[in-house]
Amino acid sequence: EDARFPKDFVFGAATAAYQCEGETRTHGKGKVAWDDYLDEKGLFSADPASDFYHRYPEDLRLCQEYGINGIRVSIAWSRIFPNGDDPVPNSEGVAFYHRLFAECRSRGVEPYVTLHHFDSPDALYREGDFLNQHAIDAFERYARFCFAEYPEVTHWFTFNEIWAVVSNMYIEGTWPRGQRYRLDLAFQAMHNMMVAHARAVLAFEELGHPGSIGVVHALSTKYPDDPAAAGDVEAARIDDVLNNQFLLEATFDGRYSEETLDCANRLAALAGGRLEFLPEDLEQLAAAAPHNDCLGINYYQSNFLKAYDGPNDCHHNSTGEKGTERHALQGIGEYVARPEIPRTDWDWMIYPQGLYDLVMRICRQWPHYKELYVTENGMASKDRLEEGAVHDEERIHYIREHLRWALKAIAEGAHLRGYFVWSLMDVFSWNNGYNKRYGLFYVDFDTQERIPKDSARWYAKVAQERFLD
Ligand code: BGP
């Protein structure tokens, strides 16, 4: 078994604007839905988070020191256009990202830049976010502006995790909007966001920008709990359409298959709604599909499903109290825990093989794909700083095993170009605040001091040797 990485493999780490920057309402930045939502809940705030707005030079210095040669960052849309669609951009916000990208370059850390990481400007959010065509138009305009303004960036992603956006907003109700079990809105919003993605891809092509463009999807492999039970197999299939297949078809085929449409329409009807895909939007999807240069895969876990005919019943474990998560959807199935498969305190199933199965499935099903990146993978824990050190053996194990399966996929021919640990340093976690830590670098949120965890040292060694022990 070859444990060596290709010579140009990117050893990256990931961040997202709202989770690390701080300065959420200053320097001309417009409001996002999360601002009020978090104020109302009163549990935690995204200010100053990891103070990346001021401390990015230090974080990039750490990247360089620890062999991390790629960083995922996102541009906060409302730093550029405070209301999403303003006639004039906010010059302070525009300048901030020039400084950030220049710092990346000077440290030899390649920036992989996402345009939308869960932070729609509030003005657009209040009009219905991507359920409203205005958000699609405004996103295209914002994307065009960024492509032209930042030629120093050559790796672009449009959206981060369209699936996470819609499942939290419209199915689980755990994010702003807080609607539950509205599968109709979830499919409609996924489609609309993919149309916005397509329009950005077409603009990128039309303007002849150098570099690559793609989208980041949150994908999970779906397994039937009992492969011999037809009901479990069907549950896994339907949940796969919802979480993976619908978005992958929109991305790579630019159209939806009959099976996928049947499934989406049925689930939408069950939720009391219906889907509307405009012919001109479908044309854009089709036109953009061949121009996807790369796909980012965020992989954390897989799911095992059982047939289920009860009512919708989800509970999100946002506290890290193991065993409190529940996920059962009418017309789909329920997630089941497997005693032999470990889970994090937040009940995320740790199943590295799921990443391999996912990558190989993409290679098989869409052999014309160009490049893949694992744009997020990582493990949350309630890390403790003891005598200046964080001994995060479990995280090392988690990353090592996922890298091992990634290497196996590469050996079998997958064009997997890089891997980004979520997250570079500890950051704000959407539903969970600050006790759910993922970073390679521990952040003392009182002093903003960065302390390398054992995992940072281990990752530096792997990156340097390009070899997995
Ligand atoms: C992904 C997001 C990240 C990040 C991560 C961990 O869905 O792209 O922004 O937060 O998951 O999720 P959480 O913070 O909810 O544990």
User: pLDDT tens digits, residue range 96-126?
Assistant: 999 999 999 999 999 999 999 999 999 999 9
Measured at the CA of 158, the angle between CA 36 and CA 413, to 5 degrees, comes to 130
Phi, psi of 156 (to 5 degrees): -115, 140
Please tell me the chain's helix, strand, coil percentages from 3-state DSSP, rounded to the nearest 5. 45, 20, 40
- Sorting pLDDT into bands at 50, 70 and 90, what band is 2? confident
AA identity, residue 284: Q
Give dist(CA 246, CA 334) in Å, integer.
19
164 lines ligand 1 (CB under 6 A): yes
Per residue in 228-251, pLDDT (tens digit) is 999 999 999 999 999 999 999 999
Nearest C-alpha neighbor of 437 from the set 371, 390, 380: 380
Give dist(CA 207, CA 467) in Å, integer.
39
Per-residue pLDDT, averaged over 163-170, amounts to: 98
Active site (annotated) includes residue 376: yes
Give dist(CA 424, CA 321) in Å, integer.
25
Residues with Cβ within 8 Å of residue 301, at least 6 apart in sequence? 220, 348, 349, 350, 351, 354
Measured at the CA of 234, the angle between CA 278 and CA 130, to 5 degrees, comes to 30
The per-residue pLDDT for 229 is 98
15 lines ligand 1 (CB under 6 A): no
Give dist(CA 187, CA 152) in Å, integer.
35
Per-residue pLDDT, averaged over 71-97, amounts to: 98
Q: Which of 23, 140, 161, 249 is catalytic?
A: 161
Q: Is the peptide bond before 212 cis (omega within 30 degrees of 0)?
A: no
Per-residue pLDDT, averaged over 414-428, amounts to: 98
Residues with Cβ within 8 Å of residue 139, at least 6 apart in sequence? 115, 116, 130, 196, 199, 200
399 lines ligand 1 (CB under 6 A): no
Give dist(CA 225, CA 337) in Å, integer.
9
Give me the chain's average pLDDT, please: 97
326 Cα: distance to centroid of ligand 1 (angstroms): 18
Q: For residue 38, is pLDDT > 80?
A: yes
Contacts of residues 84-91 at CB distance under 8 Å and 24 or more positions apart, as own/partner, are: 84/30, 84/120, 84/121, 84/123, 84/124, 84/135, 84/138, 84/142, 85/123, 85/124, 85/134, 85/137, 85/138, 85/141, 85/142, 89/145, 89/149, 90/27, 90/28, 90/29, 90/30, 91/28
446 Cα: distance to centroid of ligand 1 (angstroms): 22
Beta bridge partners of 220: none
Q: Which of 422, 423, 425, 436 to mutate to test the pocket of ligand 1 (most atoms within 8 A of CB)?
A: 422
Nearest C-alpha neighbor of 212 from the set 94, 289, 287, 295: 295
- Sorting pLDDT into bands at 50, 70 and 90, what band is 262? very high
More confident residue, 120 or 2: 120
Per-residue pLDDT, averaged over 134-162, amounts to: 98
Measured at the CA of 116, the angle between CA 96 and CA 83, to 5 degrees, comes to 70
Per residue in 362-414, pLDDT (tens digit) is 999 999 999 999 999 999 999 999 999 999 999 999 999 999 999 999 999 99
Contacts of residues 175-182 at CB distance under 8 Å and 24 or more positions apart, as own/partner, are: 175/37, 175/118, 175/430, 175/431, 176/33, 176/34, 176/36, 176/37, 176/125, 177/33, 177/125, 177/129, 180/312, 180/314, 181/271, 181/312, 181/314, 181/329, 181/330, 182/271, 182/273
398 Cα: distance to centroid of ligand 1 (angstroms): 16
376 Cα: distance to centroid of ligand 1 (angstroms): 9
Active site (annotated) includes residue 449: no
C-beta separation of 117 from 16 below 8 A: yes
Atom of ligand 1 nearest to the CA of 318: 15
| Residue 51 in tokens | 């103070």
74 lines ligand 1 (CB under 6 A): no
C-alpha dihedral (349, 352, 353, 359), degrees to nearest 10 = 110
Per residue in 441-453, pLDDT (tens digit) is 999 999 999 999 9
The per-residue pLDDT for 1 is 55
Question: Which ranges constitute the DSSP H helices of 175-225?
Answer: 183-206
The per-residue pLDDT for 93 is 98
76 lines ligand 1 (CB under 6 A): no
pTM of the model: 0.98
Give dist(CA 299, CA 302) in Å, integer.
8
> Residue 56 belongs to what H/E stretch?
helix 52-65
Q: For residue 128, is pLDDT > 90?
A: yes
Per-residue pLDDT, averaged over 24-52, amounts to: 96
Q: Whose CA is nearest to atom 13 of ligand 1?
A: 429
429 lines ligand 1 (CB under 6 A): yes
Give dist(CA 271, CA 265) in Å, integer.
10
Give dist(CA 125, CA 77) in Å, integer.
12
290 Cα: distance to centroid of ligand 1 (angstroms): 29
423 lines ligand 1 (CB under 6 A): no
